[in-house]
Amino acid sequence: METVDKGMVDPGRRALTDALGRRISYLRISVTDRCDLRCRYCMAERMTFLPKDQVLTLEEIALLADLFIARGVRRIRLTGGEPLVRRDIVDLVHRIGRHVGKGLDEVTLTTNGTRLAQHAQALADAGVRRINVSMDSRDPDRFAHVTRNGDIRLVFEGLEAAQAAGLAVKINMVALKGINEDEILPMLHWCDAQGFDLTLIETMPLGETGEDRTDHYLPLTQVADAIGARHALTPIAHRTGGPARYHAVEGLGARLGLITPLTRNFCADCNRMRMTCEGKIFMCLGHEDHVDLKSAFREGGTAAVEPLIDRALRLKPAAHDFRIGAGAPAAVRRHMSVTGG
């Protein structure tokens, strides 16, 4: 668990520490709930998105990010939906990126990669040094099935542009039984050849997608055992701020991360809060409790927001309670794209 670095927190403000003593140093900001894909485990095929007047402006997001940095946030990740569908997103990255080295360790991005070719160099110029790219299959037909007609060629073009821009890349792959389990080891080998790391993720019961996630739930304990039969896995101390636990892979240079919300709870050392594009702070991905910063900020600025952040810290739960099983309802009604992955 991280300790408070007093030198990096505005001395006039309290550091972000919750009721359980967990230090909050990582803020994930969903800049839009919109996405140009419809991944089956994430979204319904027909989605209703927020009206634009309910979404924070980029300037508002930047000012709220300033406040969190002043209170000790060291990492900010921009997510969505798909963040690169938000117009002028690079301007926001520039605005937040000016804090890197001055209280902020990094600003990063999670993207599906479909628009990365157009933005990779600009993101690098704005201060981004590494990105996560969500890609659950390299097979064109399978990718189209999972994403409901996405074009894998756009992702490959984006990855090529990211490499050319000097961005470090980590591939995020949701493990899906009966869909891509036969691709996991080949994906790890491919990532190694490309110079990428790979993180595998268990499907999370968030929002109704029109499909039963139980049909495709693949515990990563099984996946790790299967990989371990070919390449010994050794836990390492490498961390990127999120819940992934990393392993060295015998014979490969790629690091393997595992995010296990169902088979191995990782909440004891949670260091994260999430802000949605409409200014709601969710203290936990698996709970509906939240505080709404937007109205307070628009009426009273950061002074009105700070007490709400303190309230969110007091309310942050000890752990999520994700469960999966035949007919089990989603843990929360909102989709992953609303909160930010």
Feature table: binding site for GTP: 28, 77, 110, 170, 272-274
Report the alpha-carbon distance of residue 29 to residue 205 in Å, rounded.
20
Q: Are strands 255-259 and 26-30 parallel, antiparallel or unpaired?
A: unpaired
Mention every residue, 6+ apart, whose C-beta is less than 8 A from residue 303: none
What the block records as the tokens of 18 is 């919750």
The three-point CA angle 295-299-304 to 5° equals 85
**In degrees rounded to 5, what are phi and psi of residue 80?**
-140, -140
Strands 290-292 and 106-111, by their bridges, are unpaired
Whole-angstrom Cα distance, residue 275 to residue 46? 24
Binding residues, by number, are: 28, 35, 39, 41-42, 77, 81, 110, 134, 170, 204, 267, 270, 272-274, 284
Tell me the one-letter amino acid at 330: A
What 8-state DSSP symbol labels residue 46?
Answer: S
CA-only gyration radius of the chain, Å: 19
Helix 116-125 and helix 152-164, axial crossing angle in degrees, nearest 10: 20
Amino acid at 173: M
> Residue positions in the annotated binding site for S-adenosyl-L-methionine?
41, 81, 134, 204
Establish whether the linkage from the previous residue to 81 is cis, with ω within 30° of 0: yes
Under 8 Å CB-to-CB from 226, ≥6 apart: which residues?
A: 184, 185
Residues contributing to the annotated binding site for [4Fe-4S] cluster: 35, 39, 42, 267, 270, 284
Phi, psi torsion values for 35, nearest 5 degrees: -150, 150
Distance (Å, rounded) from C-alpha 113 to C-alpha 170?
A: 12
